Chain A
Amino acid sequence: MSAILEIESLVKSFGSLRAVDGVSLSLTAGNCFGLLGPNGAGKTTTIELMEGIKRPDSGHIRYRGEPLGERFRREAGIMFQSTALQEFISVREVLRMFGRFYPRALPLDELVRSCHLGDFLDRDTRKLSGGQRQRLLLAIALINDPEVLFLDEPTTGLDPQARRNLWSLVESVKARGKTIVLTTHYMDEAYELCDYIAIMDHGRVIAEGSPDALLAAHFNDVVLHLPADDVPDVAALPMAHSWLDEQLHISTCDVNATIAELLAAGASLGRLRVRSRNLEDLFLELTGREMRA
């Protein structure tokens, strides 16, 4: 697969802050690419540079081998983190307006069906709920049937069900062979949707690869969780462990051996949980910071 969007040594500063500090990435057509990082890591600045909304201080961005231009504007769909729309205008009218901006726009009923806008098509955009609003913003981003779709924290602030709905919408876009670039706070979201992720911190990419490859490269253990109360003498445990919220966390590459040691220490294992490493662990390991700070 060829690279649809390439960025090279991007730098963007705001005053003395280097928000993006030499980021290079290559995005494969048809993939879903996730940009992860703690707040202030430079995710939004990076995605806005890729969208052509902000200009880099230095570095290059190429869409299909060319600098961002008219073709990119025609073929890109963008959903910002927060977008105001013109006021006093209904959902239908907003879609009609954005549709007229493009030489070729998707038919209204197709968007209404795919983004579930039917219930509030004639409602003033100011009177939409959070989930309805996100669906409308996604519909606007999809109106030109984009080749590359940018989503900046698309599910922040949505309830779990609305998040699931948005995920399935993104999946259906992906199924049609479109390229997706998304930033997110949520590791499960990245794991669910992304084929390839880059983790950013302090304006730099500190790790990139497919989620599974990244996990495999950084971890070969699993984590055992056990309520501290279930172990008679925690201090006497032979293995390394950590505490979190009255829970004992034990990392191990040999679950059988560790369980045998716990039994020998007189622990009760009725509430034992074993989980494999996830992106959240990777994230903490790499950035040393909490994700949802």
Chain B
Amino acid sequence: MNARRLYALFVARNLEFFRDRSSFAWNLLFPVMMIVAFVFAFGDGPRESYKVGVVGAHSERLAAFFASEHVRFIDYPTVAAARAKVERHQLDLLLDTASGDYWVNEDAPGGYFMERLLLAGEGDDSGLQRRPVSGDAVRYVDWVLPGVLGMNMMFSALWGIGYVIVRYRKNGVLKRLRATPVTSLEFLLAQLASRLWLLVGIGALIYAGCDLFIGFQMHGSHLDLLLVFALGCMSLISLGLMVASRTASEELANGTLNLMSMPMMFLSGVWFSLEGAAPWMRSLAEIFPLTHLTRATRAIMLDGAGLADITTEIAVLAAMTAVFLSLGARLFRWE
């Protein structure tokens, strides 16, 4: 193992990636298109206002609150009709002006702000009574986003590694490298490292973009999420390396990659939950790295899980990476 040779290959692969305009554009555009699609399909658009549900008359005593800018006050006939909306984060706060009770979801950032706004200037004797509610206010977009991020990584990892190495083998780039002191391990690690940082970087961009436009839920630690995505990436890249270890035909590689990615795309629980699915389907899903990656990232983002809570997924992803990578390195042929 020679770090200088590894670095030389790493740099060359990065340059190739950034300068291949069409492929680079696709790598950036595809996620952006997804974000846009999400905004239109599921997003509420940029949040122009907070929403407060009101039952009863807008009392004079809270005139300052009702005069708040950037808040939409929506009247409801009964508390029962509106309470669920607080639980699902569709309302930031619900106020019953007659009783002085207000309901706020402790998980909702909007609820927090509305509560502060409501209580501003009120003393302890305000007569307002806090009724905390809870509930997983999971919109589909919140639920689907971790899976879509993982799926994007899957495509980029499988094709960016599998297809590219097969092309290198077919056109003789590998043969030329073989005639140098470069070892197969150095070559494979350079490919892995290059794709890993590119994928995690692009993943972070998509994440930030989605957050900016859609504003999804994130209850866990960003560092944990980054680590899990990186690990998931490694498992998918290793899978790509394994596919590419011997294949010399781009068509065959393409077919194999499709054969792997299509079931993963639909059966890894990216788009819909597998909870109600047939047992065989659920068992099948367990062999896909994407299933475990999606489950782990969802746990972090939606449930605020820490790394300790998802040790199973981490162990599975690490084991898959180790198996795919060692098989890929062992089976690897320059020609």
Assess A96 versus B8: contact at CB under 8 Å? Given A85-B173, A86-B173, A89-B15. yes
The 8 Å CB contact of B175, one of A76, A83, A96, is A83
Say if the beta carbon of A82 comes within 8 Å of chain B: yes
Give A155-209 interface residues, CB cut-off 8 Å to B: none
Query: Smallest distance from the beta carbon of A203 to chain B beta carbons, Å?
Result: 20
In the complex, A70 Cα to B2 Cα: how many Å? 13
Is A88 interfacial (CB-CB < 8 Å)?
yes
| A80 pairs with B176, CB closer than 8 A | yes
Q: Determine if A93 is an interface residue (Cβ-Cβ < 8 Å).
A: yes
- Asked whether, in the complex, the Cβ of B175 is within 8 Å of the Cβ of A93, the reply is no
Chain A positions 24 through 65: 1 when the CB is less than 8 Å from some CB of chain B, otherwise 0: 000000000000000000000000000111100000000000
CB <8 Å contact, B12 and A89: yes
Q: Known: A98-B180, A100-B5, A101-B5. Contact between A88 and B175, CB under 8 A? A: no
| Cα–Cα, bound, A82→B179 (Å) | 13
User: Are B173 and A53 in contact, CB atoms less than 8 angstroms apart?
Assistant: no
Question: Which chain A residue lies CB-closest to B186?
Answer: A101
Which residues of chain B are within 8 angstroms of A83 by Cβ–Cβ distance? 172-173, 175-176
- Hey, what's the 0/1 contact readout for A73-100 against B, CB within 8 Å counting as 1? 1101010101111111100011011111
Q: Name the residue of chain B whose CB is nearest to the CB of A93.
A: B15
Q: Is A219 an interface residue (CB 8 A)?
A: no
Q: Point out the residues of chain B lying under 8 angstroms from A140, CB to CB.
A: 176
Which B3-47 residues sit within 8 Å CB-CB of chain A? 4-5, 7-9, 11-13, 15-16, 19-20
Binary contact readout B163-181 vs A (1 if CB under 8 angstroms, 0 otherwise): 0000010011101101111
Q: Do A88 and B172 touch across chains, with their CB atoms under 8 A apart?
A: no
Cα A140 to Cα B182 with chains together (Å): 14
**Minimum Cβ distance to chain A for residue B189 (Å):** 15
- Report whether B175 and A101 are in contact in the complex, using a CB–CB cutoff of 8 Å: no
Query: In chain A, residues 93-131, which have Cβ atoms closer than 8 Å to a Cβ of chain B?
Result: 93-94, 96-102
- Find out whether the CB atom of B16 lies under 8 angstroms from the CB atom of A89: yes
A71 nearest CB neighbor, chain B only: B181
Q: Are B16 and A86 in contact (CB under 8 A)?
A: yes
Query: Smallest CB–CB gap between A227 and chain B, Å?
Result: 47
Once the chains bind, are A102 and B181 in contact (CB under 8 Å)?
A: yes
Nearest CB of chain A from residue B30's CB, rounded to whole Å? 20
Q: Are A97 and B12 interface neighbours, CB within 8 A? A: yes
Q: Which of B8, B15, B179, B181 contacts A51 (CB 8 A)?
A: B179
Residues of A close to B175: CB separation below 8 A:
53, 80, 83
B12 and A84 form a contact (CB under 8 A): no
Q: Mark B81-93, 1 if CB is under 8 A from A, else 0.
A: 0000000000000
Q: Within the complex, what minimum Cβ distance (angstroms) separates B268 from chain A?
A: 32
CA distance A88 to B9 in the complex (A): 14
Of B8, B15, B178, B182, which contacts A88 at CB under 8 A? B15
Residues of A within 8 A of B20 (CB): 87-88
In the bound complex, do residue A100 and residue B4 qualify as a contact, i.e. CB atoms below 8 Å apart? Answer: yes
Tell whether, in the assembled complex, residue B172 and residue A73 are in contact, meaning their CB atoms are under 8 Å apart: no
Which chain A residues lie closer than 8 Å to B173 at the CB level? 83-86
A84–B173 alpha-carbon span in the complex (Å): 5
In this complex, what residue of A is CB-closest to B21? A88
With A and B bound together, what is the CA distance between A83 and B173 in angstroms? 7
Partner-A contacts on B (CB < 8 A): 4-5, 7-9, 11-13, 15-16, 19-20, 168, 171-173, 175-176, 178-182, 335
**Could you list 8 examples of A-B contacts with CB < 8 Å?**
A70-B181, A76-B179, A83-B172, A83-B176, A84-B168, A85-B173, A94-B12, A100-B5
8 closest residue pairs by CB, A with B: A100-B8, A84-B171, A88-B19, A78-B179, A101-B180, A73-B181, A97-B8, A84-B172
10 further A-B pairs in the complex, CB-CB below 8 A; given A84-B176, A88-B15, A100-B7: A53-B335, A73-B180, A80-B179, A84-B172, A86-B12, A86-B13, A87-B16, A89-B19, A94-B12, A97-B8
